[in-house]
Structure 1
Amino acid sequence: MNEFSILITLATVHFIALMSPGPDFALVVQNATRYGRQTGVYIALGLSFGILLHAILSLTGVSYLVHQQPTLFALVQIAGGSYLLYLGFGALKGTWQTLSSKNVVSEQQSSPDLLLSNKRQAFSRGFATNILNPKALVFFISLMSTLVPASMSLTGKGIALVILWSLSLAWFSFLAWALSTERLQAKLKSLAVYIDGLCGLIFTIIGVSILWQSVMSLS
């Protein structure tokens, strides 16, 4: 298989994986529907850089070394699972407070200062959600070891990294854009609290699953 075929296969497999529901997908859906396009795009940017770092660590063998050390990998799982639980409990708590409140206060428009702060927060949350996900670490180890041979040229590996990053940014940005159009926002406004709850449930379930796996691996 020549390098062009390898890159096409890599792009196809990665794009299919991107469309699969998971923490990254849920994070974009949750925040783009509630806070709008700009926040969703900055989360997409953070997620794409997390994916880029995972790809670099996999290509250089760092991720493989982490995966081969049971204790170290369990610590990564604990950190990732705990972070997802933090996101999940936060979303579920907010959902419960909103639904149990007798007077639901409508969302206020963000001021420029808050918007600037949200850009940094959105990027950081996207990056942390992806880079702390141990399932992403395992996925990229499998992806790179299977599709990217050690004999591949540096140029080919560089193009592979650009493809993984650009596809991730394009997909999550498109998702953020699609969910924040004016017409869809009007429809989703009344459902925002339920979307928060559903995404919180997804984060919680995945977080508990990861923590359980880490406990079992150490026992």
Structure 2
Amino acid sequence: MDAQLVAFTGVAAGMVAMPGADFTVVVRNALVSRRAGVACALGIAGGLLVHTALAVAGVAAVLVAVPALFRALQLLGGGYVLYLGVRTLWSLWRAQGAPADGSAGARPLRQGFVTNALNPKAPITFLSLLPQFVPAGSPALPRTLLLALIVVGLALVWFPAVALLVDRLGRWLRRPRAARAVAGVTGAVLALLGLVLLSEPLVS
């Protein structure tokens, strides 16, 4: 058994499961419907595929080498996450209960994809983490591709599972009072994450 591969899988699983913008957006859409939650989860996996391709192609190194490009991506990602949070809170303020903008088929898929694809820390994580698990003397490209695909595979398991769990608890979570509380929390978390992402390039 490849001990490095097992170790990487454990590290990657912890990274994927760590709550953040991806997790919050999945929960937000799963409150609308199971279909919306799963579609959002698949969108996140699609965003990870983009990062996988960038890391394998070496484009992630360009983001490190060109600070202005990295900051621009930070601003785009932070702005989008902030937009999702504010939109959720706005819908809540208008007394519409849980956010209803994720019901359209393509919209939650797009939200998941854009939220992950515009995360500037993902390519840096790929770039810094993957080389540590490439054995000395081994071809870098196939090994790096394998490691990156493991991350995508873990996301394809974790985020749909989160969506299905939220949908399973939906009878309770969709009660008016509970729905408003969850919508308020997810909206506030997204807005806060967006502000953090926006502040990092502005204060650095």
8 Å CA contact 1:52, 1:164 repeated in 2: no
TM-score (norm 1): 0.82
Whole-Å separation in 2 of the counterparts to 1:139 and 1:107: 31
Comparing 153-162 with 134-143, which one deviates more in the overlay? 153-162
Deviation at 1:105, TM superposition (A): 7.7
In 1: Cα distance, 2:92 partner to 2:99 partner: 14
Q: What is the deviation of 1:157? A: 3.4
Q: Which of 66, 81, 84 does residue 81 from structure 2 map onto?
A: 84
| TM-superposed deviation, 1:106 | 9.5
**Which residue identity lines up with residue 125 of structure 2 in the other structure?**
F
2:105 aligns to what SS in structure 1? helix
Find the counterpart in structure 1 of residue 159 from structure 2. 172
Match of 1:11 in 2: 9
SS at structure 1 position matched to 2:174? helix
* Preserved contact between residue 56 and residue 145 of structure 2 (Cα < 8 Å): no
| 2:171 aligned to which of 180, 186, 191 | 186
1:54-69 correspondence runs (5 A): 54-69=51-66
Highest CA radius of gyration, 1 or 2? 1
1:8 maps to a residue whose letter is V
| Contact 2:98 2:180 (8 Å CA) reproduced | no
More RCO (CA 8 Å, sep 6+): 1
Aligned residues: 200
Q: Is the 8 A contact 2:49 2:152 kept in 1?
A: yes
Distance 1:96 1:69, change over 3 A: same
1:8-35 alpha-carbon deviations (Å, 9 max, x no partner): 22211111111111000101111112x1
Write the letter of the residue equivalent to 1:141.
L
Whether 1:207 and 2:204 are equivalent positions in the alignment is no
**Once the two structures are superposed, what CA deviation does each residue of 1:175-216 show, in whole Å capped at 9, x if it has no partner?**
1111112xx211111212221211111111111111111112
**Whole-Å Cα distance in 2 between the matches of residues 91 and 77 of structure 1?**
21
1:143 maps onto 2:95 in alignment:
no
Matched residues in 2 for 1:146 and 1:32: separation?
Answer: 35
| SS in structure 2 of the partner of residue 133 of structure 1 | coil
The two structures have a TM-score, normalised by structure 2, of: 0.88
Letter in 2 for 1:189: R
Shift of 1:70: 1.2
CA–CA distance in structure 1, aligned partners of residues 98 and 110 of structure 2: 26
Structure 1: any 5+ residue segments left out of the alignment?
A: 99-103, 109-113
Is 1:128 matched up with 2:114?
yes
